[in-house]
């Protein structure tokens, strides 16, 4: 399985010019295995994916964790949607009052966007998922709701060679009075068990979090505790606050690692980074 990060910011693209390393685009991750290509979220990073779709790919599956704007703002700018030969499957969370198509059409229709979702030239299919298990090519996908405002999913992707878990927007400590001591009661924990790579929300410092409880995001420290609890092999901080420069993020990462040493790798998800799990 090959994983490429095209956007790892949260909330808003970063306006900072000092983001050469981490990048300024919002959530978008490409996952490839054999002839299968999955795109995790359609944030502004998807524009970087446009030039990186292998020519033999005729079907793309886009897995949306939720419909907050930072996760769908790039959707209408994804070039494959305008190719009539391309099959595009969009998987997203089951809604409470409106189905996935009507919720996506709110954005992909005038006045917010010139083209309606149903008028896109590709062969488009929509699938609603919640606590679900399904296969895409040789990849086995599990989805589950996680703690974040509105219906929001995390995804576990198991390939022949390993496991990637993607939980970009997540506040694991909110729903558990005893976090991180009771894994079975912690949102998202079953998804992340024994991941080779975990991409997890790490937007706030512990100080910032005190005034942002309930906003749906994790502290860097809680991301580490969550990864430890789920026996992750490599944690990549994701959903970086849009206001942080590379230097600031690197110094916060170092501080968190020093204050809570663990026996697994921790890094910053950065645009253009590629990771291989097993053989590819």
Helix count and strand count (H, E) for the chain: 7, 14
Q: Which is nearer to Zn ion, 19 or 152 (CB)?
A: 152
Stretch that binds Zn ion, among 105-113, 165-173, 186-194, 266-274 (CB under 5 A): 165-173
Answer yes or no: are the C-beta atoms of 108 and 115 closer than 8 Å.
yes
Instruction: Compute the CA torsion angle 38, 39, 41, 44 (nearest 10 deg).
Output: 180
Answer yes or no: are the C-beta atoms of 155 and 141 closer than 8 Å.
yes
Termini Cα distance of the chain = 6
From the CB of 67, what's the least distance to Zn ion, in Å? 9
- Ramachandran angles phi, psi of 104, nearest 5°: -70, -35
Contacts of 111 (CB under 8 A, 6+ apart): none
Position among 3, 4, 6, 10 found at the interface with Zn ion (CB under 5 A): 10
Q: With binding defined as CB under 5 A, does residue 196 bind Zn ion?
A: no
From the CB of 71, what's the least distance to Zn ion, in Å? 6
From the CB of 171, what's the least distance to Zn ion, in Å? 10
Stretch that binds Zn ion, among 89-97, 168-176, 203-211, 272-280 (CB under 5 A): 168-176
CA distance 62 to 260: 35
Position among 61, 158, 169, 222 found at the interface with Zn ion (CB under 5 A): 169
Q: With binding defined as CB under 5 A, does residue 200 bind Zn ion?
A: no
From the CB of 147, what's the least distance to Zn ion, in Å? 11
From the CB of 267, what's the least distance to Zn ion, in Å? 20
CA distance 93 to 11: 19
From the CB of 167, what's the least distance to Zn ion, in Å? 11
Q: Which is nearer to Zn ion, 33 or 143 (CB)?
A: 143
Stretch that binds Zn ion, among 56-64, 163-171, 206-214, 267-275 (CB under 5 A): 163-171
Q: Which is nearer to Zn ion, 169 or 271 (CB)?
A: 169
CA distance 139 to 159: 5
* Burial class of residue 162 (count of CB atoms within 10 Å of its CB; 0-12, 13-18, 19+): middle
Q: Which is nearer to Zn ion, 76 or 151 (CB)?
A: 151
Q: What beta strand segments (E) does 55-207 contain?
A: 59-63, 87-93, 123-129, 132-136, 139-145, 153-159, 162-167, 197-201
Q: With binding defined as CB under 5 A, does residue 70 bind Zn ion?
A: yes
- Residues touching Zn ion, count (CB under 5 A): 4
Q: Which is nearer to Zn ion, 33 or 44 (CB)?
A: 44
Select the residue whose beta carbon is closest to Zn ion and give its number: 68
Q: Which is nearer to Zn ion, 10 or 151 (CB)?
A: 10
3-state secondary structure of 191: helix
Stretch that binds Zn ion, among 73-81, 110-118, 167-175, 247-255 (CB under 5 A): 167-175
Answer yes or no: are the C-beta atoms of 53 and 28 closer than 8 Å.
no
Q: With binding defined as CB under 5 A, does residue 68 bind Zn ion?
A: yes
Instruction: By CB under 5 A, name the binding residues for Zn ion.
Output: 10, 68, 70, 169
């Amino acid at each position: 399985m090959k994983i490429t990060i095209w956007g790892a910011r949260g909330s808003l693209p970063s306006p900072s010019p000092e983001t050469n390393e981490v990048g300024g685009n919002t959530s978008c991750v490409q996952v490839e295995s054999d002839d299968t290509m999955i795109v995790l979220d359609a944030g502004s990073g998807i524009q970087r994916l446009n030039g990186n779709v292998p020519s033999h790919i005729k079907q793309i599956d886009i897995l949306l964790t939720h419909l907050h704007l930072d996760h769908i703002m790039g959707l209408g700018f994804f070039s494959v949607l305008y190719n009539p030969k391309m099959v595009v499957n969009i998987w997203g969370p089951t809604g409470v009052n409106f189905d996935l198509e009507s919720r996506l059409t709110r954005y992909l229709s005038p006045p917010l966007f010139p083209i309606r979702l149903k008028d896109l030239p590709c062969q488009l299919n929509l699938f609603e998922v919640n606590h679900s298990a399904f296969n895409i090519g040789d990849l086995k996908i599990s989805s589950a709701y996680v703690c974040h405002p509105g219906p929001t999913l995390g995804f576990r992707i198991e390939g022949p060679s390993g496991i990637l878990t993607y939980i970009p927007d997540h506040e694991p400590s909110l729903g558990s009075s005893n976090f991180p001591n009771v894994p079975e009661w912690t949102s998202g924990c079953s998804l992340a068990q024994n991941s080779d790579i975990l991409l997890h929300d790490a937007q706030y410092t512990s100080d910032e979090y005190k005034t942002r409880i309930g906003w749906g995001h994790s502290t860097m420290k809680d991301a580490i505790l969550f990864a430890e609890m789920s026996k992750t092999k490599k944690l990549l901080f994701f959903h970086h606050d849009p206001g942080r420069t590379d230097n600031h993020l690197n110094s916060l990462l170092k501080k968190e690692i020093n204050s809570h040493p663990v026996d697994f790798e921790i890094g910053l998800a950065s645009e253009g980074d590629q990771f291989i799990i097993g053989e590819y």
